[in-house]
Amino acid sequence: MNLEALIASSFDGLMLGFVYGLMAMGLTLIFGVMKVINLGHGPVIVIGMFAVLVMSQALGINPYLTLPVVAVLGIAFGVVMYFISLHRVINAPELTTLLATFAVNLIITGLMTVIFSTSPRGLDVSLGALQFGAVTILGTRVTAVVIAVIVTAALYFFLYRTRQGKSIRAVANNRNAAELMGIDSTWMLALSFGLGIMLAMISGALLATLFSFTVLSGGGLETKSFVIVVLGGLGNPTGALFGGIIIGLLESITTIFIPVSWVPVLEFVVFVLILLVRPNGIFGAR
């Protein structure tokens, strides 16, 4: 085994892990607040990717400068999606909300396929690289990590320091009690869905700066998000960040010991085992 290779790939994995964490945070936030597993998560990530692609190519804007626009679009889209697909069935059994969000998945995937076809795309961003011995750190990755951290911090500031954020947490804790305290729970549910979608879209935008992608990239990223969310504990945003880092590290480090193609086997076996043994995540209470 080669120590330098190990260090190099752990760095890579660590950095990717932050973006994965951000991606899964959107899913886990929505589950935490309204007990909905958003099966439209993958296509929403893809919307984020194409939003950057379109804006940067059509308008010639630097991809990173489009991120605030992506965020605003994300919240708006999430709120609309909530009212169209979920509001009516928010108290129905889980199956109903699973299918409602899956319907949205089909609609988005279908529309995106019609508009963009399924051919591979890529953003042409390069921010150079730093070299430390065998370790190469790409500028795009560092930037992605920094942005992921900023967005996470902003999310926490919002949830813990602002009135609306506190209301969201109250609704997540106990919707009836929150309503008795005069909180408009419908709006809070819509807003948190909007936030979840925003996180997914931003992470999509960041992933677009790192890898090439297609309209169908969402499927794999969605299942990866499930794994991360379960690792960190369903409904726990901090857990999602750690889960993301674990998966990022796992994907990069294990490839030194086992063939790349075995990594998903490991991931999903771990996923099922954690669901069985520690359904609140590896950091959660039993």
- The CA dihedral of 42, 188, 31, 34, to the nearest 10 degrees, is -120
Which residue, 209 or 236, has its beta carbon nearer to other proteins? 236
* Residue from the set 20, 193, 213, 271 that interacts with other proteins by CB under 8 A: 271
Which residue, 165 or 237, has its beta carbon nearer to other proteins? 237
Find the shortest distance in angstroms from Cβ 182 to other proteins: 27
Rounded distance between C-alpha atoms, residue 274 and residue 231, angstroms = 7
Stretch that binds other proteins, among 55-63, 85-93, 135-143, 148-156 (CB under 8 A): 85-93
**Spatial contact of 248 and 23, defined as CB atoms under 8 Å apart:** no
Type of residue numbered 142: V
Residue environment code for 112-138, b if the CB has 16+ CB neighbours within 10 A, otherwise e = beeebeeeebebebeeeeeeeeeeebb
Rounded distance between C-alpha atoms, residue 34 and residue 55, angstroms = 32
* 85 belongs to the binding site for other proteins (CB under 8 A): yes
Which residue, 83 or 158, has its beta carbon nearer to other proteins? 83
* 114 belongs to the binding site for other proteins (CB under 8 A): yes
Find the shortest distance in angstroms from Cβ 190 to other proteins: 16
* Residue from the set 69, 103, 138, 142 that interacts with other proteins by CB under 8 A: 103
* 285 belongs to the binding site for other proteins (CB under 8 A): no
Region of 182 (left: φ > 0; alpha: ψ -120 to 50; beta: rest) is left
Find the shortest distance in angstroms from Cβ 109 to other proteins: 6
Find the shortest distance in angstroms from Cβ 46 to other proteins: 13
Which residue, 5 or 103, has its beta carbon nearer to other proteins? 103
* Residue from the set 147, 171, 206, 230 that interacts with other proteins by CB under 8 A: 230
Which residue, 65 or 84, has its beta carbon nearer to other proteins? 84
Q: Which residues on adjacent β-strands are paired with residue 130?
A: 137
* 91 belongs to the binding site for other proteins (CB under 8 A): no
DSSP one-letter string for 64-75: GGGHHHHHHHHH
**168 Cβ contact partners less than 8 Å away, ≥ 6 residues apart:** 33, 159, 188, 191, 192, 195
**255 Cβ contact partners less than 8 Å away, ≥ 6 residues apart:** 9, 263
| Alpha-carbon distance values, 184 to 28, 141, 170 (Å) | 22, 40, 11
Find the shortest distance in angstroms from Cβ 20 to other proteins: 16
The contact set with other proteins (CB under 8 A) reads: 31, 35, 37, 39, 84-85, 88-89, 92, 94-96, 98-100, 102-111, 113-114, 219, 223, 226-227, 230, 234, 259, 261-262, 264-265, 267-269, 271-272, 275-276, 279
